[in-house]
Amino acid sequence: MDSQTPFEFLSHRHSVPVRMLADPVPDDAVLRQLLTAAARVPDHGKLVPFRFHVLRKPAIDRLARLTLEIGASQGRDPDKLVKQAAAFGDARLTVAVLTHPRQDSPIPLIEQEQTAALACLSLVNAAQAAGFAGHWLTGWMARDADFLRAGFGIAAPEAVAGFVHLGTPRGHPPERPRPDLDAITTWVLE
Ligand SMILES: Cc1cc2nc3c(=O)[nH]c(=O)nc-3n(C[C@H](O)[C@H](O)[C@H](O)COP(=O)(O)O)c2cc1C
């Protein structure tokens, strides 16, 4: 973050594609700090409706294999499967952020899933703030019953809110277009 103020950081924060994430990746001690920061999210009902699965090689390669095997068994497009598996192949450190909703709670499922999503963004931001970078991906694997069972031993309504890949950025990704504030903002004055 260097000499950036927190506001400057938030104004320029960004992801780095997993193919541009290299070693070194956070060690366990640093990762615990990043996860602690990522878990500090707004949470209606204080349900903590998310879980972290920390994956290093070769556990990440197992997800690549499952993507190819399960995807093929379901007749998915082979070219897309190769690309989706390659993201796991490129990754050195992946945190699967799982939704862990409480069904006996009056808090709507969508709000619990939103809290899990906040943890994904916070993890990407925490990584960048600590001098690393992150990339939040999903794909069909995030909600597919076969993949969730084989990969994580979970079933709906649990799912993957995000595969958050972490590492050291190799170069600067091009800035992507950002929303036109005036096109998305209505100032309601009375
Ligand atoms: C819920 C969610 C799922 C995403 N899944 C994918 C994905 O599967 N593949 C992909 O290329 N990008 C995916 N993205 C987008 C990437 O995270 C993208 O790099 C990101 O929007 C970059 O924005 P940033 O630079 O503002 O962080 C996803 C984003 C979100 C919020």
Mean pLDDT of 18-24: 98
Q: What does the pLDDT read at residue 112?
A: 98
In a domain, 64, yes or no: yes
Residue-number span of the structural domain to which 24 is assigned = 16-169
Mean pLDDT of 120-133: 98
* CATH code of the domain in which 161 resides: 3.40.109.10
In a domain, 160, yes or no: yes
Burial of 59 per CB tally in 10 Å (0-12, 13-18, 19+): middle
Q: What does the pLDDT read at residue 162?
A: 99
In a domain, 78, yes or no: yes
- The 10s digit of each residue's pLDDT in 46-66 is 999 999 999 999 999 999 999
**pTM, entire model:** 0.97
**Amino acid letter for position 114:** Q
In a domain, 44, yes or no: yes
Q: What does the pLDDT read at residue 3?
A: 84
Do the beta carbons of residue 97 and residue 161 sit within 8 Å? Answer: yes
Query: 104 alpha carbon to ligand 1 midpoint, in Å?
Result: 31
In a domain, 3, yes or no: no
Question: What confidence tier does 190 reach under pLDDT thresholds 50, 70, 90?
Answer: confident
Block residue for tokens 């990746």: 25
Mutation probe of ligand 1 site: the residue of 50, 138, 143 with most atoms within 8 A of C-beta: 138
In a domain, 89, yes or no: yes
Which residues sit opposite 53 in a β-bridge?
A: 96
Nearest protein Cα to ligand 1, atom 6: 137
Average pLDDT, rounded, for the chain: 97
In a domain, 65, yes or no: yes
Q: Which atom of ligand 1 is nearest to the CA of 176?
A: 25
User: Rounded to an integer, what distance in angstroms lies between the CA atom of residue 160 and that of residue 140?
Assistant: 10
Mean pLDDT of 102-113: 97
Q: What does the pLDDT read at residue 168?
A: 98
In a domain, 53, yes or no: yes
Q: Is 98 helix (H, G, I), strand (E, B) or coil?
A: strand
Mean pLDDT of 88-114: 98
Q: What does the pLDDT read at residue 2?
A: 63
How many domains in the chain? 1
Mutation probe of ligand 1 site: the residue of 84, 137, 140 with most atoms within 8 A of C-beta: 137
> 3-state DSSP: the chain helix, strand, coil percent, rounded to 5?
45, 15, 40
**Amino acid letter for position 158:** E
Question: Is the confidence at residue 1, as pLDDT, over 70?
Answer: no
